[in-house]
Chain A
């Protein structure tokens, strides 16, 4: 390990990526837990039925609608924000890979990572 200390290589990149993912999950879990606690408290005594699929209300499906509900202190919106944070975590990892390979001057893998990022972005944009 101490053979390569300051040099930036694949191993170092993966270590930073691992941390990045861990922090993202911790943050997202904290937000979801907070939102979930409020959510359960607000819905005490009600019954739930997931037998029939209705789809979530439109407010939860678009960033704009979600932001609006979030500002009103809607507990379900807090959970959804945590979920979005969670989805953003692996995306952030790919963004970091682009930067990492650029530092290593590995053009081929900058292109590979950018392709993955493009697919991710296309799916997120297509869906919003």
Chain B
């Protein structure tokens, strides 16, 4: 018992650390770690992961706010989509066979690996499209440009962004992950919101989104105290440490190694699901 708790705690620190360094979040590493390495039932793993996602998102919030990039309006507006998606996802999770969950998770892992690989190669284009609804919904905003001034921006393709956010919420509720990558994708690529605003706002949204499905998980008995305790504290500690390291360390090499790890875990989860070993 003590050994198991310590090992899970250490593994969670590692998951939080890697999640923060790559920007994918702790849950993406944690769930496969618990199921593939510790042979935990995927439902317990998802429950514990979701709790750690809330902790990480809220724990990092104060640091993000200080930078002044996040937009409470964009966040709140899109949270309508993500929370409804999260409830839908949690509803699906309680009705889906665990093998299917494992396969979907594996596919998400492969996609994350691809995203992370691409991110290290090319940088996004700066674009300034805007939808007439941007001002009407008061989503336009500004952020400090680093030279003492303010850089203003508008929001584009709100309907498409809203729909993508619903998908992000569903994934989050279904798999117990923050799905920050999908949220950033929706804001950055679809709605053309500046990258720095997207990433910091996404962090805020993750906590609220996860809270929407956490109640359902708790009630269904997916959250085991003995597992949630080392996982929550471990991922929180790991991600806070990772955020500190991120300022100094060169992450490109680390990201390449990590991409391979994610790929392997993804394949493993799909195989396990397909062979019915979950």
Whether the Cβ atoms of A50 and B229 lie closer than 8 Å is no
Instruction: Please tell me if A103 contacts chain B, counting CB pairs below 8 Å.
Output: no
Contact partner, B211, options A39, A46, A51, A87, Cβ 8 Å: A87
Docked pose: A35 CA to B214 CA in angstroms: 20
Instruction: Please tell me if B212 contacts chain A, counting CB pairs below 8 Å.
Output: yes
Instruction: Please tell me if A102 contacts chain B, counting CB pairs below 8 Å.
Output: no
Contact partner, A127, options B137, B208, B219, Cβ 8 Å: B219
Docked pose: A120 CA to B227 CA in angstroms: 25
Whether the Cβ atoms of B218 and A25 lie closer than 8 Å is no
Chain B interface, number of residues (Cβ within 8 angstroms) = 67
Instruction: Please tell me if B4 contacts chain A, counting CB pairs below 8 Å.
Output: yes
Q: 1/0 per position for A51-90, CB-CB distance to B under 8 A?
A: 1111111001110000000000001110110011011011
Q: Which residues of B contact A5 (CB under 8 A)?
A: none
Q: Which residues of A contact B230 (CB under 8 A)?
A: 36
Which chain A residue lies CB-closest to B208?
A90
Q: Which residues of A contact B77 (CB under 8 A)?
A: 109, 112
Q: 1/0 per position for B221-235, CB-CB distance to A under 8 A?
A: 111111111101100
Contact partner, A56, options B41, B54, B214, B221, Cβ 8 Å: B221
Q: Which residues of A contact B34 (CB under 8 A)?
A: 50
A-B contact count (CB 8 A): 200
* Nearest-Cβ distance from residue B29 to partner chain A, whole angstroms: 18
Whether the Cβ atoms of B208 and A29 lie closer than 8 Å is no
Q: Which residues of B contact A32 (CB under 8 A)?
A: 228-229, 232-233
Whether the Cβ atoms of B225 and A10 lie closer than 8 Å is no
Instruction: Please tell me if B207 contacts chain A, counting CB pairs below 8 Å.
Output: yes
Q: Which residues of A contact B212 (CB under 8 A)?
A: 119-120, 123
Whether the Cβ atoms of B55 and A28 lie closer than 8 Å is yes
Instruction: Please tell me if B108 contacts chain A, counting CB pairs below 8 Å.
Output: no
Instruction: Please tell me if B244 contacts chain A, counting CB pairs below 8 Å.
Output: no
Q: By DSSP majority rule, is chain A's interface helix, strand, loop, or mixed?
A: helix
Whether the Cβ atoms of B54 and A48 lie closer than 8 Å is no
Which chain B residue lies CB-closest to A58?
B221
Instruction: Please tell me if A91 contacts chain B, counting CB pairs below 8 Å.
Output: yes
A74-122 residues at the B interface, CB under 8 angstroms = 75-77, 79-80, 83-84, 86-87, 89-91, 93-94, 97, 100, 106, 108-109, 112-113, 115-116, 119-120, 122
What are 6 A-B residue pairs whose CB atoms fall within 8 Å in the complex?
A14-B72, A25-B58, A54-B221, A55-B220, A119-B80, A120-B83
> Chain B: residues with CB nearer than 8 A to chain A?
1-2, 4-5, 34, 38-41, 43-44, 51, 54-55, 57-59, 61-66, 68, 70-73, 76-77, 79-80, 83-84, 86-87, 90, 98, 137-138, 141, 204, 207-208, 210-216, 218-230, 232-233, 236
What 6 pairs across the A-B complex have the smallest Cβ distances? Answer: A55-B221, A18-B65, A36-B229, A127-B219, A56-B221, A79-B225
> Chain A: residues with CB nearer than 8 A to chain B?
10-11, 13-15, 17-19, 21-22, 24-25, 28-29, 32-33, 35-36, 39-40, 43-48, 50-57, 60-62, 75-77, 79-80, 83-84, 86-87, 89-91, 93-94, 97, 100, 106, 108-109, 112-113, 115-116, 119-120, 122-124, 126-128
